[in-house]
Amino acid sequence: MACFWAILEEAHITLLAIYPDYQRQGLGKLLLYKLLEKAVQRQLERATLEVRVSNQSAIALYEHFGFRIAGERKNYYPQTGESALIFWRNDLQRAAFREQLNQWRQEILSRLARGEWQLEEETRAKIDIMGMQ
């Protein structure tokens, strides 16, 4: 599950989650790729998100996609008092970023194929990945 808010020229990623049984299979990359692709299509210039400081796998994912730490929100999560790192990814409208999106697309398709993931037509339509074939 993933979504972002479009605020002015920014995509604020508010949710990116994979059920634990399906983590580390490339699905997080797929969802983040699709969020960034949609942000580009909507002419947004940059993307931002917050992540728990303890979530090392998510941090690695975001860094892989070019997000950089811009700050920290102390005690951001009220249930635990854990802090959040603030990440930003700029230059979404540059040609170099669009080229990088194409490279990630190929990487993701290859990873999903190795994991023997097959998405049915109805599922592809629901999550809007028809352009990934």
Q: Where are the domains of the chain?
A: 2-132
Res 114: pLDDT: 81
Cα 131 off chain centre by: 17
Res 67: pLDDT: 98
| pLDDT less than 70: residues of the chain | 116-133
Catalytic center residues = 50, 62
CB–CB of 16/109 below 8 Å?
no
Coil vs helix vs strand at 85? strand
CB–CB of 38/25 below 8 Å?
no
CB–CB of 69/33 below 8 Å?
no
Q: Is domain 2-132 in CATH 3.40.630.30, yes or no?
A: yes
Res 122: pLDDT: 60
- Phi then psi dihedrals of residue 70, to 5 deg: -115, -15
Res 132: pLDDT: 41
Res 131: pLDDT: 42
